[in-house]
Amino acid sequence: MITLQVSIDSKEAERMINNLHIKVPIEAGNAAYEFCKQVETELVVGAAKNIHTGKLITSIRAERQTRMRSVVKMKKTGIYLDRMKPHPVWLKKGRLITQWAKQHNYKGFIMWNLSKLTGQIERGIWVKPHPFIDDAYARAFSRFDIILRNYVGKAIVASK
Q: Where are the domains of the chain?
A: 15-84+129-160, 85-128
Distance, in Å, from the CA atom of 36 to the CA atom of 63, rounded to the nearest integer, reads 8
What's this model's pTM, rounded to 2 decimal places? 0.71
pLDDT in tens, the chain (160 residues): 555 555 556 666 667 667 667 777 888 888 889 999 999 999 988 888 876 667 888 888 999 998 888 999 988 888 888 888 998 888 888 888 888 888 888 888 777 777 777 777 778 888 888 888 888 888 888 888 888 888 888 877 776 6
Burial of 81: CB neighbours in 10 Å, binned 0-12, 13-18, 19+? buried
Minimal CA–CA distance to 131: which of 62, 87, 63, 80? Answer: 80
CA–CA separation, 160 vs 155, rounded Å? 9
The pLDDT assigned to 132 comes to 86
- Residues 144 and 32: their CA atoms lie apart, in Å, by 9
Angle at 33 between CA 150 and CA 80, to 5 degrees: 130
